[in-house]
Chains A and B, each alone.
Chain A
């Protein structure tokens, strides 16, 4: 049964997951902004002569920007590309909803727009029903990812902040790379962040009756190149057996390519593989051991440092044992 009091007894254990993700296909993660480029393309040269400008488009052509952020290094502001944690979180959450929430509830758990008050009440009722029905599978989503549900009555509140926190690191490309355009590298130097290889690709739908390019159909997009890597750090507070099962399923579905990140899955973007997995558990030794702890090995390695070292007992889950934890999701 779902309870929004997920920290009623405090935090008694923390699972820290580390995955290094490698892009097995290009990855398209945008930030809603656009950057401009100039096109001095000669006739029939298909993309030669493009010059990117690391600034918003003015009169030039524009293309959706890949996600980036800024940091200060040696008193200088540097830009860098990274996959936002919200993107990873969103993909994982969507996968759970689409696969573990019963189909009869799936379409009912999308919140309506705020202005639609009548529908908001209807939605709240549906969420309450989903949370009390053990067969709905929705309590998994609400417990792990959090649930925002304002019933205007504190006593009835079903909201919680969730138990999963996700962080990502920036891409780890050490060598500054220009943007590859249709196979050639932009020859006007390096544009924008330099910590990831990027490419600009073109799509050109063809008119079905004439086989000519559809008028207005030609468009470009930017993406991170295959082979780029970045790290994902997940922190699960008070992990449950079902969380272990979820982790195991996520890993399997990611490796199989059925759980993807970013846009354009229709053209195969966003498949990644998991490398250097690490599953470290810290738990209060005075709290009763859960049954699933038998899959973990105590870890007394002094190099196993963390803010929790010395306070709680450390465990490690061998990556090969993860598959066995799927059954805790039943």
Chain B
């Protein structure tokens, strides 16, 4: 049985949750002030500073400012924002807009939010937007709506050609300010941690999103592609996807379980084209913490402050990942709120109040995770949360039994990614229902699953979900709750 893939996807809700600034502002008293937060490493944590050659490989030093190690604010922000975007059906705030068709590299081009026209001598194919365009950040001249994450963290929206949208509608300042988290030198270890890589430009495990497989994309069709092998034309099956499975998150795991899997000495992984090398990592050691750092809020309504606290301390099971080498177990972290100095911005008072100690109240909010009844009783609008997304988040970034699991990429070898499916093999395995030739539509999820299941013995990583659900330890993952 194979290990599950180290990442998985949280599907998008039917539509994003958007509201006007006024609607957000009226979600309770507005709070300003700051939380003092500590970040504890559950597995080694590395954020890249600079890298230098080291033997056949490299050494990656942790991020520093003026010779002092930090977890940079931007990494913490990105981690929290990505979580909140997913939890609250928010816009996709960061995405590469287009993956064009490219000879020998990408058979099928696609755009993230737009249709993409693929042209070739024999075939024309218009690829759907890989993400529902409703999730693209937009500004309008009418009601200026935004998602929760952009209300909290700010956004700059690109002006569309010919648009007369005002500057105010295109840019919003962040209401959450996050400072860098300082790391004391005694909490660093630069001797014991490494991850695998390959020589050359590419990063091992680096993302290769493709619309000609069902790994990043949901199934759409199966095409016949004629491939030249040693001067002979071979008809092969090509699995065309059309929409991303969702937003990507990485599972927690212990690097000690996973990293040796890739060591050529253990014969699990072949390095036919590019030689293997080690990247030694300087890490914040497990069970050590950063110094306290501050997360400021500037006039955010009570409900969204509660949401921010819940996102920092998301219950007993969910924990965040951050930094480099997530696929190899690095970067599992736990935030704890050590102090809360906050005030209500009371507009009836001329002078803003002093900050007050609100630690007890803040901790009481975090204890409500993720009990709908308790949240509702506390006046929290539970419709702000995409509960299906939360459920999936719990399965991926849930900590429960994580030590029992090992996640590894499908290897590039026979039976896995290196295995092509010829027309003969396809037709023989799938039987009389489908014949490779004209495109086979797989818009019914069941058809695609059945096809992948029937081909599973020949090639495992065809359909992302089928691969995961047949992996070792899936029962543990499946049963995780928020």
Contact = CB atoms under 8 A, between A and B. Distances in A.
Interface of A: 25-26, 42-48, 99-100, 102-103, 137, 180-184, 197, 199, 201, 203-212, 214-217, 225-226, 245, 249, 252-253, 256-258, 260, 265-268, 271, 326, 329-330
Contacts of B73: 267-268
A207 B95 contact: yes
Interface stretch (B77-85, B364-372, B394-402, B470-478): B77-85
Nearest to B178: A268
Interface string B195-210: 0010011010011010
B96 A183 contact: no
B74 A209 contact: no
- Classify the secondary structure of A's interface with B: loop
Nearest to A228: B66
B350 A100 contact: yes
A203 B74 contact: yes
B50 A205 contact: no
A45 B48 CA distance: 10
Contacts of B216: 209-210
B67 A211 contact: no
A256 B356 CA distance: 11
A256 B177 contact: no
B480 to A, nearest CB: 21
Interface stretch (B116-124, B242-250, B264-272): B242-250
Given A46-B51, A180-B67, A329-B350, A256 B201 contact: no
B373 interface: no
Interface in B43-94: 48-53, 58, 60-69, 72-74, 77-78, 82, 85, 92-94
Contacts of A184: 49-50, 64
Given A48-B50, A326-B351, A329-B350, A267 B177 contact: yes
B354 interface: yes
Contacts, number: 165
Interface of B: 7, 9, 32-34, 48-53, 58, 60-69, 72-74, 77-78, 82, 85, 92-97, 112, 130-131, 153-154, 173-174, 176-180, 197, 200-201, 203, 206-207, 209, 216, 244, 246-248, 250, 293-294, 296, 298, 326, 341, 347, 350-352, 354-355
Given A257-B296, A266-B174, A208 B248 contact: yes
A26 B34 CA distance: 18
Contacts of A257: 34, 294, 296
B96 A215 contact: yes
Contact of B351 (A206, A209, A249, A271): A249
21 contacts: A182-B48, A182-B63, A201-B65, A203-B74, A207-B94, A207-B207, A208-B92, A208-B93, A209-B9, A209-B112, A210-B209, A214-B96, A215-B96, A226-B65, A226-B68, A266-B174, A267-B72, A268-B178, A268-B180, A329-B351, A330-B350
